[in-house]
A and B are shown apart, each in its own frame.
Chain A
């Protein structure tokens, strides 16, 4: 290799080094400027009783949204939906729904979507990172990935799943999660289902003492609902526990038959 060629390589290497150095400096500066977010990581058990209606979260609820009072173990009876107004299609589906259809081997382990699963009386485990946060649900072994790296939602022809496509951002101390592409599933476990057009906005924050995880789950569905619904959800921090395998066994349904 000639001397000039060696010089070119050295200059390029030096330039690359400078660029990396600058990039590193910029990243460090950006990280230093970025406010520290509360750490939601941990094992959380759904709190029994009525959830906390945090004033700051309540202030963010869209006007006209009905607050459902069925969080946790509470469930509505037939044809009662806590103030949700159903489209004719949803009304017809709810009227023809038969609870015994759930009591089959085919349906006993049918996975709900995050709309029903998140408010159920089962624990969750949160792993918070900078570019994504993962939520493991004990209920049906579900796992959610919430991207917080600034990406947009998947395109309209993206896959439909029971956890949907979630992107998140921070508003002060609150993680705001926007989810679409959620596959059809129950909302209230009594005949009302959402369509794959449902749009969910969740807000998560810690209580002042850090012992509770407070959330709202707001949803709208132009195909099934004439108004929006929201649930408050509260979990208690529990140390030393982890999400267990759910490992649903559909043969349970045979108990109804024999």
Chain B
């Protein structure tokens, strides 16, 4: 089983992507996350999923290119918003293998703001933001 980390270099237009995703809760998205770098894509195994406002948090173990396991944390949009997109508190469970796209923290840590989560068969978790109005 492989858990590659890859950086997708294409920059995302703020209006098209961030405009519907970066639900600014208590802390500043623009200041804390690096949207100039583009979207980071990580594949790993969930170890913990919390689903509480102001943000849900997904913890997952990821193997880097050297085969070392590193922990990533991905904060989600507000769960009260995600619930309207089909997310539930048990949408992810420990042991689930998933792909996460998101924007990495500017300090370079393994922390990101989630944009989209898909299972290994490509099935999205919840309704992706780009496919409908924010609700």
Contact = CB atoms under 8 A, between A and B. Distances in A.
Interface of A: 45-50, 72-78, 99, 102-103, 107-110, 112, 120-122, 138-139, 189-190, 236, 238, 241, 244-249, 251-252, 255-256
A76 B53 CA distance: 23
B interface bracket (residues with beta carbon within 8 Å of A)? 20 to 34
A77 B53 contact: no
A121 B55 CA distance: 14
A138 B81 CA distance: 10
Given A122-B81, A190-B31, A244-B80, A249 B26 contact: no
Nearest to A78: B31
Given A74-B19, A244-B80, A252-B57, 11 more contacts: A48-B134, A75-B22, A77-B31, A99-B28, A108-B26, A110-B26, A121-B24, A189-B27, A246-B80, A248-B53, A255-B73
Contacts of A112: 26
B26 A122 contact: no
A252 B52 CA distance: 8
A35 to B, nearest CB: 34
Contact of B14 (A74, A122, A190): A74
Nearest to A119: B24
Contacts of A248: 26, 53-54
Given A72-B19, A122-B81, A102 B27 contact: yes
Contact of B30 (A76, A109, A252): A76
B78 interface: yes
